[in-house]
Amino acid sequence: MMSEVLQYLLHPLQYEYMLRAIWVSAVVGGVCGFLSSFVTLKGWSLMGDALSHAVVPGVAVAYLLGLPLALGAFVAAILATGAMAFIRSQSRIREDATIGIVFTTFFALGLVLITAFPTGVDIKTILYGNILGIAMGDVLQVVLIAVVVMGLLLFKWRDLMLYCFDSTQVRALGLNPMVLHMILLASLAAVAVAALQAVGAILVLAMLVTPGATAYLLTDRFGKMLWISSGLGIVTSATGAYASYFVNGQTGGCIVTLQTLIFVVVFVFAPKHGLLANRRARLKTEIIVKEGVS
């Protein structure tokens, strides 16, 4: 009986496409999780959403020109970032409205290009990802992006942490906040491109926010938060890709659903910042106040 269960559980690992999907998902999840700590700290969840949708026209143009899809997506993300910065600096429009205008415009432009100039790019692949059918060329692109971004973040994480906390203090220490801003934006754009292969444009935001938000509830130390969020990204991405075989579900959906379930558990049961812990702290405070009054 046990051998049959074990054989059943190991069955997905007999297929090369499943093994590739699992480890590539883990790579993407790890770098997304690491970056999500900065996104959470900086409050850039909307920016992540914008960039994940803004890459669509870049993918379409790159395919039409015969260029690597990752290159087109990255250029589109940088252009979208520049457009947001220009509109924000030259008008009274709030940042959230600027982000909404730019990312919907880029996304709509991408849909127009794909429908007006039929290509081999499937819109469903862009929206939902296709990690099970990822080609070796795309695997190499994803790994290269992950290695470069992870190396850059590890090298500059202390400066980026300070920038996310207080950009004024960055200037006082002689650092250039604009350089750190661009490093963070470029990393976010690159990771959005990599995650596009795994979960698609719709779910990239979850991978860039949920691990960091979960880790934020578990620790008060940013260094520890980085490794918790990265570890969560690796484990949930690999497990989600593996589980998608058994539930016959979309891989990106399985990954994000698992990340959300873990967030809900942590949100309720986190020892210091969870819902139950906060309620216990409030009750304790109320008791102390009542005893002091009496």
Sign of the CA dihedral with 185 first, then 187, 190, and 195 last: negative
Range of the domain at 269: 2-293
Lowest mean pLDDT among 97-106, 204-213, 279-288: 279-288
pTM of the model: 0.86
Comparing CA positions, the residue from 3, 42, 45 lying closest to residue 165 is 42
Q: Count other Cβ atoms within 10 Å, centred on residue 261.
A: 11
Q: Are 142 and 169 contacting, i.e. CB atoms less than 8 angstroms apart? A: no
Whole-number pLDDT of residue 79 = 86
The Cα 267–Cα 145 span in angstroms is 31
Q: What's 270's DSSP letter? A: -
pLDDT above 70: residue 119: no
Q: Are 45 and 205 contacting, i.e. CB atoms less than 8 angstroms apart? A: yes
Q: What's 250's DSSP letter? A: -
Using one digit for the tens of pLDDT, what is the confidence trace for 64-113?
887 877 778 778 878 887 888 788 778 888 877 888 888 888 888 888 88
Q: Report the number of distinct structural domains present in the chain.
A: 1
Whole-number pLDDT of residue 26 = 92
Using one digit for the tens of pLDDT, what is the confidence trace for 159-195?
888 888 877 777 877 888 888 888 888 888 788 877 7
Domain of residue 70, CATH code: 1.10.3470.10
Categorise residue 87: left if φ over 0, alpha if ψ from -120 to 50, beta otherwise: alpha
Structure tokens at 142: 């994803």
pLDDT bracket for residue 291 (50, 70, 90): low
Whole-number pLDDT of residue 215 = 95
